[in-house]
């Protein structure tokens, strides 16, 4: 019996994904010189592209050279050379998968010590208790900065299409800028971008309209949205339902549901639960609820590692399965599922009592596997989280020196 996982998905723009399995975005932090993709990203995506997924979504590409989630971030703006991106698109598409670029602005989630700007809807800083000083202090954006940001997203999307990508995913989840505007906890504005949800969603909706206006009709435009941000008084599942309804008339092809932010890192897994399925797809209850009313196809990402969990998610009304961490360990997992096989192993969760450090170590472990795969080595699930975190911090210091020397040259073009 053929599995629904391997049936094609037809999107409104006319794009067709060959199956229902997507490699979800994971931040690689692997930019080469000039904040450009280099051979490491090409080899990593060639590997994933050969692994059987229908869709590959890149880790977030920054729309603003002065606002990066970290010093290893890839930047695509008006003055970026396009050929490295064309090579990246070709590498991902070589095995028959569609290749989408995730485009993002971090807003206030910028590490302290980074040059450039730290912007937010309001001057509310990231609250991580004793780790709060790890992030810069944000300034509230002016209307001009908001409008310039809309244009930046459109420029990055237009250039992604020119480079041969099949679509973009606009990142409005995980506490980054567009998600900050949506959150009543972070957005305390009293102008047309603040207050009721329609105003808080204005920046996202304007970005979607601007992107759709500059890309070809058959180019996919997707949005990544929190199903909830898991903070009291924050963005809730009913808000997500209303935002999906607002996106529907704007030519959006797909909404990926995730959840959480640095302040509440639900995206890196809920505490372990005796019920495997709850652990496997930890936003499933919210997604099932949203799928019942969603006018747009939904993709669900979060902890899916087994084929039976993936099939259950589809049975619950979701259209596309996003797989992240599992593909950092088993890059050919979709092909294995097709053959009735499963992953060899998975990264053990980091259960340190300090939740902020545990989340950082978990992400460092994933990126450690990505770097191994990028240089042609096999992933290794036995890596110790403390070692991965220490080596990541050393690498970040080197990357920061390089970014600091590059940024003044990059911004002098404008």
Q: Tens digits of per-residue pLDDT, 208-222?
A: 999 999 999 999 999
**What number is the average pLDDT over the span 338-354?**
92
**What number is the average pLDDT over the span 185-196?**
97
**Percent of the chain with pLDDT strictly greater than 70:** 93
**What number is the average pLDDT over the span 240-269?**
83
pLDDT computed for residue 280 by the predictor: 52
Q: Which domains does the chain show, CATH number per domain?
A: 4-346 (3.20.20.70)
pLDDT computed for residue 128 by the predictor: 87
pLDDT > 50? residue 273: no
Q: Which two tokens stand for residue 214?
A: 């500059």
Split at pLDDT 50, 70, 90, the class of 282 is low
Q: Which two tokens stand for residue 46?
A: 């060639």
* Distance set, CA 225 to CA 77, 106, 172, 272, 301 (Å): 23, 14, 5, 24, 11
Q: Which two tokens stand for residue 285?
A: 């209850």
Other beta carbons within 10 angstroms of residue 217's beta carbon come to 9
Q: Which two tokens stand for residue 140?
A: 């509230």
Q: In which residue are the tokens 């652990």 written?
A: 279
Question: Please, is 398 exposed, middle or buried when counting C-beta atoms within 10 Å of its C-beta (0-12, 13-18, 19+)?
Answer: exposed
* Distance set, CA 352 to CA 64, 263, 380, 394 (Å): 34, 16, 20, 21
pLDDT > 60? residue 172: yes
pTM of the model: 0.95
- Between the two ends of the chain, the Cα-to-Cα distance in Å is 57
């Amino acid at each position: 019996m053929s599995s629904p996982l391997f049936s094609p998905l037809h999107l409104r723009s006319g794009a067709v994904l060959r199956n229902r399995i997507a490699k979800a975005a994971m931040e690689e932090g692997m930019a080469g010189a000039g904040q450009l993709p280099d051979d490491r990203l090409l080899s990593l995506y060639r590997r994933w592209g050969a692994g059987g997924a229908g869709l590959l979504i890149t880790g977030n590409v920054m729309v603003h050279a002065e606002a990066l989630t970290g010093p290893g971030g890839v930047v695509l703006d008006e003055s970026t050379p396009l050929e490295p991106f064309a090579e990246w698109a070709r590498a991902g598409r070589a095995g028959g998968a569609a290749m989408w670029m995730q485009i993002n602005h971090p807003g206030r989630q910028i590490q302290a010590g980074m040059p450039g700007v730290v912007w937010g809807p309001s001057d509310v800083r990231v609250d991580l208790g004793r780790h709060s000083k790890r992030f810069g202090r944000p300034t509230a954006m002016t209307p001009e900065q908001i409008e310039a940001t809309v244009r930046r997203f459109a420029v990055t999307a237009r250039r992604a299409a020119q480079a041969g990508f099949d679509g973009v995913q606009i990142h409005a989840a995980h506490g980054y800028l567009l998600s900050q505007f949506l959150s009543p906890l972070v957005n305390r504005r009293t102008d047309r971008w603040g207050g009721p949800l329609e105003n808080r969603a204005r920046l996202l909706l304007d970005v979607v309209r601007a992107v759709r206006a500059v890309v070809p009709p058959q180019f996919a435009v997707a949005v990544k949205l929190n199903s909830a941000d898991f903070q009291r008084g924050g963005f809730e599942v009913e808000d997500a339902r209303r935002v999906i309804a607002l996106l529907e008339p704007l030519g959006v092809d797909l909404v990926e549901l995730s959840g959480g932010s640095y302040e509440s890192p639900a995206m890196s897994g809920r505490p372990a639960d005796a019920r495997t399925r709850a652990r496997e797809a930890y936003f499933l209850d919210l997604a099932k609820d949203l799928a019942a009313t969603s006018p747009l196809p939904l993709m669900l990402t979060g902890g899916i590692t087994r084929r039976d969990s993936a099939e259950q998610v589809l049975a619950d009304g979701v259209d596309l399965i996003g797989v992240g961490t599992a593909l950092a360990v088993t890059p050919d997992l979709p092909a294995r599922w097709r053959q009735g096989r499963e992953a060899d192993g998975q990264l053990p969760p980091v259960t340190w009592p300090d939740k902020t450090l545990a989340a950082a170590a978990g992400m460092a472990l994933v990126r450690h596997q990505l770097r191994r795969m990028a240089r042609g080595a096999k992933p290794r699930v036995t890596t110790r989280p403390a070692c991965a975190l220490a080596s990541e911090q050393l690498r970040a210091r080197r990357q920061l020196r390089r970014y600091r020397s590059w940024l003044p040259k990059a911004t002098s073009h404008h």
